[in-house]
Amino acid sequence: MFSMLRNWLNERIIRKSTISNDQWLEVFSHLPLLDRLTAGEKGKLRRLAILLLHKKSFEGVQGHHLTEEMKISIALQACLPILYLGIEWYRGWVSIIVYPDSFVPQSTYTDESGVVHNSKKVLGGEAWLRGPVILSWEGVASSAPLDGSNLVIHEFVHKLDMLNGVANGFPPLHAGMVSQSWADNFSRAFEDLQARIHAGESTVIDGYAATSPAEFFAVLSEVFFERPEQIDSVYPQVYQHLADFFRQDPLSGQAGTGLK
């Protein structure tokens, strides 16, 4: 009953959207990340993005003027991980704050307090447990090339991880997924990456992933959507877990198959 009402309300929100087709096409044209999607998937992603834009509060700070196109761009990238999960996976929080460029965190924080940080390179982003997603527009804009790095996906995947508490690289898994198998394969891959970095090897996966299991999950999710072959080549079991979790298989181009 409640889900019927929710679906009806969501359909109403989508129907009332004032974003023009030209605006969508313009933003899509700047996001090569989305090129692999079918026309049907792009439509589905647009619907999710409309819901995200409606349900979340976007705020530019430090004088940053957030244009409609910027918000649409953030929403489209944020909704890619939930394309086959649904908008309810971003429940329980409201605010998306956007700084013009990398920013200085405003409080003392640690993983244990429920705050996860991302300060690699010049990018800046944070995702707070039950709190906001914070992004730097500079970081969002520089994520456009398909190089395996995507700030928006990184921070929003932390939000998925936080659905069952503090981010720890262990989001709520779907029925049929085996928790022990996820834990074993992610732990083995995480330790392998740490060992390689410690040994001074150059690694395909960004070394930031080796800082904690939460960052490992977020960084590998960036790679999963941008350069899936890179994960499959080094950690194929982790690739399969991510495909099962996101219910998408970017490598085969068969997004949405193999649902569990």
Interface residues with Zn ion (CB under 5 A)?
A: 116, 118, 215, 218
Minimum distance from residue 114 beta carbon to Zn ion (Å): 13
Q: How far is the CB of 120 from Zn ion (least distance, A)?
A: 8
CB of 218 to Zn ion, least distance (A): 5
Closer to Zn ion by CB, 52 or 162: give it. 162
Question: Which lies closer to Zn ion via its Cβ, residue 215 or residue 249?
Answer: 215
| CB contact set of 257 (below 8 Å; sequence gap of 6+) | 249
Q: Which of residues 27 and 115 has its CB atom nearest to Zn ion in the complex?
A: 115
DSSP letters of 121-160? TT--EEEETTS-EEEEHHHHHTT-SSSS--HHHHHHHHHH
Element spanning 119, H or E: none
CB 33 to Zn ion: min, Å = 18
116/223 with CB nearer Zn ion: 116
The 10 Å CB-count burial string (b at 16+, else e) for 24-34 is: beebbeebebb
* Closest-approach residue to Zn ion (CB): 118
Report whether 76 contacts 32 (CB < 8 A).
no
Quote the strand ranges of the chain, DSSP E. Answer: 57-60, 95-99, 115-118, 125-128, 133-136
